[in-house]
Amino acid sequence: MSFVNKIKKIFYKLLKRENVYSFILITIIFFLDRVSKIKIINKLNENTIFVNDYINLDLVWNIGIGFGLLSTESDLMYNIITLIILIVIFTLSYILITSDGLEKFIYSVIIGGALGNFYDRLIYKAVPDFLDIHYNNIHWFIFNVADIFITMGIIALLFNNYFKNN
């Protein structure tokens, strides 16, 4: 099969109804993430909002990947990590287009969250994290709405693969 025919085949798959629904879900998740981050950025600045004994809203700019891993001051490393994230998003998008049913939904959730954080990396050169879950002085990593969707999607993917293989 020629390269042009492969591109045509992928394009026709993109136009299938279930793929359109997937892209709508990705867009909804992306905008939920954007709205939450815009509200937090405009409201918090240097302040912390105490929601209850277990949740604070505290704006932290994350230059690493999920949960602050691989944080570095090096522009080269930041750009390499950002490029790798872009490649992962394209790879997941291809898998989404070729998958069916529940997997299509799961990949849509992951991609929607990943695009939200990727957008921030391009625009702000960091990802705004703001949800601080804690018990007394024990704090979990600060995260955002996109991280919630990415994590839920990965957990669902693991469960799906486990039950599919068993």
With H, G, I as helix, E, B as strand and everything else as coil, classify residue 127: strand
- Please tell me the distance from the alpha carbon of residue 141 to that of residue 161, in angstroms, as a whole number: 27
* Neighbour-count burial of 130, counting CB atoms closer than 10 A to its CB (0-12 exposed, 13-18 middle, 19+ buried): buried
Buried b (16+ CB within 10 A) or exposed e, 4-34: eeeeeeeeeeeeeeebeebbebbeebbebbb
Active-site residue list:
129, 147
**Residue 70, number of CB atoms within 10 A of its CB:** 14
Q: What angle do CA 84, 80, 142 make, to 5 degrees?
A: 75
CA distances from 128 to 75, 119, 140 (A): 18, 11, 16
Contact 88, 80 (CB under 8 A): no
